[in-house]
Each structure stands twice: as C-alpha cells, then as structure tokens.
Amino acid sequence: MRPTDRRNFLKKSLLTGGLLLTTDRLKSLASAGTTPMGRDTTAKSRIVISRDERLRPSGGSVDSDRLLGMLDRAVQAALDSDDPIEAWKKVVRPGEVVGLKINCLSGLGNSTTVPLVEAICERLQQAGTPAKNIVVWDRLNEDLEKGGFRVSYEGSGVRYVGNDVFGFEPRLTEYGAVASLLCKTLTRVCDCVINIPVLKDHGIAGVTVSLKNMFGAIHNPNKYHLSVGDPYVADVNMLSGIRRKTRLIVCDATTAQYEGGPSYLPHWTWAYNGLIVGQDPVALDYVGWQVIERKRAEVGVKPLSEIGREPTYISTAADRSHNLGTNDPSKIDLVEL
C-alpha cells in the first residue's frame, strides 16, 4: 500500500470506527503531567504578550505590516525560535491540514481580525503548508460574513467555512458534565488547530478567550453557560478532538472588551494593540483575564469576583482531573515584548 493510500485508510478507519481517546485515558495522561500530544504540563508555561502602540497609525484600522511584526515576535518567543518561518514549522507538520478557529460572534467591531488571519495564513504558506490545506472556521457561515470573511470552500485557496458546511458528527462525545456533537471541520477535515480567539468580557462566563472559544466546535454550546460556565468550559476542552488537535493559541487582543461582552459594545472596548500567544490555554486565559481585570480597575469597574462572574472554569481546567494547563502565576513564564 502506498504511503498516501495507507494514511487515508488509517484516517478513514479512525473516523468510521470512532477510535477516540477515552475519559479514563485522558485522566491517566493528566495525572502523569502530559497532554495527549506529549506536552509536559509540569514545566513552566510560556505566554507572550506582543504589543505595538503604533499599530493604528490613523487611529482606526490596524497596520498590516506592524501586525505581522507583532505576530513574528510573539510566535518566535513562544516557540523559542530565531526565525518566524522555522517557528511555524514547529506548529504544522508537512502534509497536515490546519484549522484556524476564529471568533466572529461580535461582527466587525470585535471579532478575530481579517489582517491577523491573513498574516497567519501567509506565514503558514511560507512554512510549507499549501493554501488548500488551511481552513478558517467558526460556528456559522453567517458569523464569518459578519466578521468580514468571505465563505469559500472550493478551489485551491484557503477555505473559509462555518460548521453548517460540513455539519456535525452523528455520535456524542462525552467528558464530565458535557455531551456534544463535534463539528466535522474539526474531526474529519483538520489534522491540527490554531485557536485564534478574541480578548473580551463575557456576561455569563466572566471572560471568553481561548478555552471558551472552543464552544464553537460543538452543536449545543447554549447548554453549558450555567454556573459561570464551570465546569462546562473545562470539560468541553477535554473532548478528544479539541484537546488532541490544538497546537497553538494566538489571541487577537488588538481590540479588547472589559465589560458587556460577548456582544460588541464600543464604549467598553479599548485599543490594547496586542497579541497574546502560547500553547497552554489555561495559562493564556489566566493572563488574558488579568489584563481585563486591570482595565476594569483602571476605569473604576468592579472586579468580576464582586459581581458573581469570576471565571472559575479556568482553575477547573487546571485541576488534576483536567490538567489542561496551569493557572499558577509562579508556573507561568510571562514574556512581554
């Protein structure tokens, strides 16, 4: 059997046979201090904040060249590389299809920005990933269009799809308090995922950054907003396709929102002019949460803990039964550029 035929046969067998990591297996990996991809969660987690106060020279649109420079600095620092192309080669392996999970719920006001997605696509292609192997996706085609993206899933270019293009798996995937159908974009189309969330407040879950962004991979996110999303956000990120495939997080914090989210309310947003990059979703969400809390304090808004919206799911995601990362500041290597 030729290598390509064998790879396709194995992939088809995994899909049709439902060979997924079980809850017990995930728990054993968590207790051993590793993820299914082998990342050592007992070591310090590096989170990089890259900012450029001149990102918006005219006060409105971001400067694409400056944004690319921010991205390069952040990814190189996060992956300990001297060259941006070599850094991206560490993320996506030759022949893999990579999914870019964006967040367009808020429309043009505060969604993952088109220039950032274009910059990531540019670097991925320079690192050897052909355009046809890049899939930009979110919940719905309508969400993509509201965020300024054009839905396209045919031809040889980058594909832009909502979950309504490929649909959802017919069988539930379960962990803890969660039972959901995973989208086929994640399970059948993409070999790995780069999570590209937005930094913002959430009126129920406290904040929505990388962990909460993966609600866009399931069919029933409306069920999991009780109790400030705890333990549901953590449990969703334990679902096998999400946990195994996520390689990198590039949080779009060019515009951030400290109150009133997830809907876009411009009077509660500010130009943070930054990106937050790392491989540990818990550490990244903890750092993002602190950025939001500092802004709330600066403008005289009460901390989330005082209004019943502290995002406790972040600590749940770090506990022994999840071990998705760390929320311990002493174990986070925070690099600010």
| pTM strictly above 0.95 | no
Fold for domain 46-336?
Rossmann fold (3.40.50)
Q: Which pLDDT score is estimated for 155? A: 86
Phi, psi of 64 (to 5 degrees): -60, -35
* pLDDT greater at residue 16 or residue 77: 77
Can you give the length of the chain in residues? 337
The SS3 call for residue 160 is strand
Q: Which pLDDT score is estimated for 199? A: 98
* pLDDT tens for each residue of 156-191: 999 999 999 999 999 999 999 999 999 999 999 999
User: Is residue 20 a contact partner of residue 308, using CB atoms and an 8 Å limit?
Assistant: no
Q: Which pLDDT score is estimated for 39? A: 52
Phi, psi of 206 (to 5 degrees): 90, -70
Cis peptide, bond prior to residue 262, ω within 30 of zero: yes
* pLDDT tens for each residue of 31-83: 444 454 445 656 899 999 999 999 998 767 899 999 999 999 999 999 999 99
3-state DSSP percent of the chain in helix, strand and coil, to 5: 40, 20, 35
* pLDDT tens for each residue of 133-155: 999 999 999 999 999 999 998 88
